Structure 1
Amino acid sequence: MAVSRLQIWLQRLIMMAGRPRNLVDRNGRYHARLVVPKDLRGIIGKTELRTPLGGDYRQAIKLLPGAVAQLQHQIALAERKISAGTLRTGPARYPLAPDQIAMSHYMQRLAFDDELRNDPRWPSVGIDDLLVQRLRAAIAGLADDAELADLVGPQIERFRASGNLDATPGSDEWRVIARALCSAELEALERVAERDEGDFTGTPTAPIIKNAQPPQSATAPVSITDLWTDYVQVRQRLGYMKDGGRRQELAIKSLIKFLRHDDATKIKKKNMLDWLENTLQEKQPSTVSKVYLPTIRSLFRWATEQDRIKDNPAVGVRLAARKPIHNRERGFTTEEAMELLTAVFNYQPKTSQNGKAMEGEKVTAAKRWVPWLCAFTGARVAEITQLRREDFREAGGNVTIRITPEAGGTKTGQWRDVPVHPQIIKLGFLDYLHTIKSGPVFHNAKEQKKYQTSAKKTANRIGDWLREQNLVPEGVQPSHGWRHRFKTVGREIGIQDRVLDAIQGHAARTAGDDYGDVTLSTKINAINRLPEYEIL
């Protein structure tokens, strides 16, 4: 009868479990198999570890948990060696549920008992009745953390070292695991007592062990960091992310920090929603909606399309953005524009007692000329602050700016030529420009890889300074205020939107707009039609 019960239990376990993880069949012989992580292969000397389990499937299933635990322990020893003896921290590499941990411990205890019975001294070792009482009390929830640690603390740490758990001592998760191990220990002692009487047919009765399922085949981990690195490289080959996605990378780091792991296959939609809610507590909604969430969604969409991950956890994750309320026009009015341009044109830096300017020449020039260039080009401030001497061309009495990613970056990743308005020439901008032999006109970076960062710092500095001078009205942005005004003025004097878009670097609105070119001559005519600003 006992053999029949064991067979029924094993068959039920097999049917419920499906194909157990870490079990391989090689020509009718079963083995426990564990892949060695890449960073540990140099220490272990192998790409995988195996332990033979024999030719009987049911016996192999029985021995599998203990064999896998031993292989995981070898991995843990290698991890300790590579980290100079420090214990591994962070998410479990081979996580097991409490019932799986209990089953593994139970099987290992019985396997150890089999070995000990070859020693003739073993039968004389009795079972500690006090230990049995303590285990039963612990299972019932009557033991405190110290008692649980005394009973099964070493076993918990062994499973932790094997990468099966990461529960914090004293937490609810830790106590569940501890009680599960107490159940496994008590069941093992009951089998030992039965074996002492010659009965080797006993099976576990505790539900946590009786109903435990071997771990299912798991998807190999996919590093979020590696996905991001590959994604950036792909985007750069297409002409985007010239800066390596520096700003977007903050979203990737934020997600990994929140998840406390780097495995994309473990992420569920609930994790994404929780991350989104947490991020909104730390960042402005506009930053989350325009940078963080689009970055994560684009990455996982690409990873799914490339079959790097099976499911996209970001599908359906959206941020309900409140529609902004505008109490005025978003661009500068004519009066506001004249006041600002007059102030910057007449700007003089503070001087020391000996009459020396207390700021660099390029900073002064940026404050004085960048707003004027923005007013007559509709360009983004950072596109102007990144300009180099070689980006200016003089031909046929006209001065043209080439706004190019090489100087730092453009939102579209494309270059464009923009004429300089005659009023800027009339006010003396070329006198300053001719003092620059080569390189950046408005910042002091020496290496090209630092151009974009320096240009953005200068742009932010100008914006902050204009606000400090009360030259930017409430509800207007220093950069986009000019972009909005440029489009408004252009429409008022009858310049076609397609021409304005080409000057400002806006994408084509329709497929038809992509046909034909807006020539430099057309742009020059449009810019020259813009009315001059009266300096107050």
Structure 2
Amino acid sequence: MPSPIKIGETYYLRVRVPSDITAKMNGRTIAIPIANATKTVAIRDTVKVSLQTKEAQEAKQRFVRALASVEAFWETVRKGPQPLTHKASLAIAGEIRQLWISIFDDEPGSPEFWERMIDADKQAAEGALHPLAVSTAKTKMEALEARYGAITDAFLRKKGLLVEAGSRSRLVEHVASAMSEMAEVSSRKAGGDYSDTGQTNKYPAPLEVLSPDAATDSNSHGQASVLTFNTTVDTRVSEKGSGRDAKVMPVSTVRKYRAAASEFAKYRGSEDLASITAREADGWKRSMLKEGRLSNKTIGQRLQNVRTVIEWAREQHFGELFPSGNPLDHVKRPEYLETPSEERAFTLDEARTVLRAASAQAKPYLRWIPWMCAYTGARVNEMAQLTQSSFYQVEGLWFIRVTTMGGKSLKNQHSERRVPVHADLLEQGLIEFVQNADAKGDHRLFPKRTASNVRDWIRDDLAITRSGLMPNHGWRHLFEDRAMGSGMAHAAKLYISGRSTSGSDAGYGKSEAMLPGLALEMQKFPSYLD
């Protein structure tokens, strides 16, 4: 039985390539899980990789996983390249897409960076190896290979898959399409738009591949019996969606939990949920804090998301999993400083500067988004996704329907509401703009990059750059403060701004019979420019 060897002070795995497959190893590499990372090494007569530890007991534990991975690869090579079905190819492309989306989820960078990426993706898809080249099927495949081949091969190595040439070519094309979607999603996030595109659902579920962790724990049919984050989330989504009046889990929520779980699994080097320890989670927290890329608040949210998935697994196993409690209950969330709401909000002078400037703008999103946010307390993204059909009348009074219907995305269930149109918006001509807009019916009135464009206009063109101010959320806090000062009913203020509440007033404005009364409360809200 092979065992770790010590070279200097560090332990290594070193195993000889089996004689029956030695001829097939020329030029190959292998991905081996070591601790919290995956190491890719070249295969010669032997496979040699550092176990990254000087401790004998730790080396033995790491050696078991690493050796299982190597031996699983030997079996893959013996079987030879395998064909991938169309569905399996799309599943892999979807996994790669989601992995890259999760990497840039919290800090997507600048819209300009993603514009360059989108242009490069487009050139590759067109087969333009250089600007004057004539695109052919051959140059297209060469361009896609140059841009996505390495990404595809790295993922296949990590999965321990060896696919035939024809299947790989199709997979590269699927990966190209998925990565283009990833760039579009990340570009919108960089511009402040985190709404769901609905594209994630089109990909099949991730492939269930026998992992190194599962290699020593298989059933009689050779299938992995390891409990993973993905299977736990899949079960939860299925449970939430079952029943005639089920409340389906939103795609954006599913994505949030998968992303956090994927990052944690990547850190610990294993998808095996049942083997999680509090020390691993604490180590993940400390590594994120040391890296300094994420805020302490975001790190705490990621820990909580992973804790939630573990709690789902405990429920699904009737308390038999982690019977003494959730391991992450022992991991303290990092503390952070909250920016006071008054610092996040526009001052009255700033608000008036923005509204006066907006009145002179020709671009519809600059002309109307600030005014609508100022008189509704809505988030910029909520107003940016409105359509012509979002505006309607009850007893001659105009209202805005802010809803998740039609593929729109809101922060939570309390965000669904019907907001009276303030008299100042009517006087400014909002309804005339809506009725005469080119975007009819359920088509958006404003472009998808509205949020980032409005934010940049306020910061760059109007030079309102005060530290702490959140241009796309600042109207919300100002509206609530002014509503309270105007004597607006507390329940009406909460409902109009989309804040969560409880008790009997939680249904305020939900039926049309109550809407005229809600409009009366809106009349109390003072004008900004009087």
TM-score (norm 1): 0.53
Task: Please point out which of 223, 230, 234 is paired with 1:225.
Answer: 230
Task: Please point out which of 486, 490, 494 is paired with 2:483.
Answer: 490
Which letter does structure 2 place at the counterpart of 1:425? L
Which letter does structure 2 place at the counterpart of 1:413? Q
Q: Which runs of 5+ in 2 are unaligned?
A: 3-17, 35-43, 65-215
How far did residue 369 of structure 1 move? 0.8
How far did residue 404 of structure 1 move? 0.7
Correspondences of 1:71-150 after superposition (within 5 Å): 89-91=31-33
How far did residue 317 of structure 1 move? 2.0
How far did residue 342 of structure 1 move? 0.8
**Aligned counterpart, 2:364:** 365
Correspondences of 1:424-503 after superposition (within 5 Å): 424-434=425-435, 435=437, 436-444=439-447, 454=448, 457-469=449-461, 470-471=463-464, 473-503=466-496
Residue 530 of structure 1 aligns to a residue whose secondary structure is coil
User: How far apart, in 2, do the equivalents of 1:315 and 1:272 lie?
Assistant: 10
User: How far apart, in 1, do the equivalents of 2:479 and 2:303 lie?
Assistant: 31
How far did residue 329 of structure 1 move? 4.6
How far did residue 472 of structure 1 move? 5.3
Q: Which runs of 5+ in 1 are unaligned?
A: 1-64, 67-75, 93-149, 158-165, 182-214, 349-363, 445-453
Is it true that 1:288 corresponds to 2:272 in the alignment?
A: no
Greater Cα shift, 479-488 or 434-443: 434-443
Residue 252 of structure 2 aligns to a residue whose secondary structure is coil
**Aligned counterpart, 2:421:** 420
Determine if contact 1:403/1:416 at 8 Å carries over to the other structure: yes
Residues 439 and 343 of structure 1: CA distance in aligned 2, closer, same or farther (over 3 Å): same
Which letter does structure 2 place at the counterpart of 1:340? V
**Aligned counterpart, 1:410:** 410
Residues 268 and 224 of structure 1: CA distance in aligned 2, closer, same or farther (over 3 Å): same
Q: Deviations over 1:475-534 (max 9, x none)?
A: 2212332111111111111112111111112111x4353477662122211112212221
User: How far apart, in 2, do the equivalents of 1:347 and 1:224 lie?
Assistant: 49
Is it true that 1:338 corresponds to 2:352 in the alignment?
A: yes
User: How far apart, in 1, do the equivalents of 2:335 and 2:29 lie?
Assistant: 44
Which letter does structure 1 place at the counterpart of 2:328? A
Which letter does structure 2 place at the counterpart of 1:335? D
Residue 327 of structure 2 aligns to a residue whose secondary structure is coil
**Aligned counterpart, 1:316:** 330
Greater Cα shift, 289-298 or 386-395: 289-298
Q: Deviations over 1:313-358 (max 9, x none)?
A: 322323232333549554222222111111122124xxxxxxxxxx
Determine if contact 2:394/2:515 at 8 Å carries over to the other structure: no
Q: Deviations over 1:352-403 (max 9, x none)?
A: xxxxxxxxxxxx2112211111111111221111111111113443221111
**Aligned counterpart, 2:270:** 261
Which letter does structure 1 place at the counterpart of 2:487? G
TM-score (norm 2): 0.54
Determine if contact 2:384/2:450 at 8 Å carries over to the other structure: yes
Residue 333 of structure 2 aligns to a residue whose secondary structure is coil
How far did residue 272 of structure 1 move? 0.5
Task: Please point out which of 275, 294, 309 is paired with 1:299.
Answer: 309
**Aligned counterpart, 1:168:** 50
User: How far apart, in 2, do the equivalents of 1:496 and 1:84 lie?
Assistant: 76
Is it true that 1:270 corresponds to 2:279 in the alignment?
A: yes
User: How far apart, in 2, do the equivalents of 1:423 and 1:304 lie?
Assistant: 54
User: How far apart, in 2, do the equivalents of 1:493 and 1:500 lie?
Assistant: 10
**Aligned counterpart, 1:393:** 392
Q: Deviations over 1:391-445 (max 9, x none)?
A: 111344322111111241222235311111121121122232122322333445x
**Aligned counterpart, 1:44:** none
Residues 481 and 91 of structure 1: CA distance in aligned 2, closer, same or farther (over 3 Å): same
How far did residue 84 of structure 1 move? 13
Residue 270 of structure 1 aligns to a residue whose secondary structure is helix
Residue 377 of structure 1 aligns to a residue whose secondary structure is coil
Q: Deviations over 1:230-274 (max 9, x none)?
A: 334545652442435334433222212212221112211111011
Is it true that 1:513 corresponds to 2:505 in the alignment?
A: yes
Is it true that 1:374 corresponds to 2:388 in the alignment?
A: no
How far did residue 288 of structure 1 move? 1.9
Which letter does structure 1 place at the counterpart of 2:473? H
Task: Please point out which of 252, 257, 261 is paired with 1:252.
Answer: 261
User: How far apart, in 1, do the equivalents of 2:355 and 2:470 lie?
Assistant: 15
Residues 227 and 84 of structure 1: CA distance in aligned 2, closer, same or farther (over 3 Å): farther
User: How far apart, in 2, do the equivalents of 1:286 and 1:342 lie?
Assistant: 37
Determine if contact 1:328/1:475 at 8 Å carries over to the other structure: no
Which letter does structure 1 place at the counterpart of 2:232? L
How far did residue 220 of structure 1 move? 4.5
Q: Deviations over 1:168-215 (max 9, x none)?
A: 3796479966xx99xxxxxxxxxxxxxxxxxxxxxxxxxxxxxxxxx9
Determine if contact 1:232/1:244 at 8 Å carries over to the other structure: no
Q: Tell me the number of residue pairs that the alignment of Structure 1 and Structure 2 aligns.
A: 332
User: How far apart, in 2, do the equivalents of 1:395 and 1:528 lie?
Assistant: 16
**Aligned counterpart, 2:154:** none
* Identical-residue share of aligned pairs (%): 23
Q: Deviations over 1:448-498 (max 9, x none)?
A: xxxxxx4xx432332233122323533221233211111111111111211
Residue 393 of structure 2 aligns to a residue whose secondary structure is strand
Residue 336 of structure 1 aligns to a residue whose secondary structure is helix
How far did residue 286 of structure 1 move? 4.7
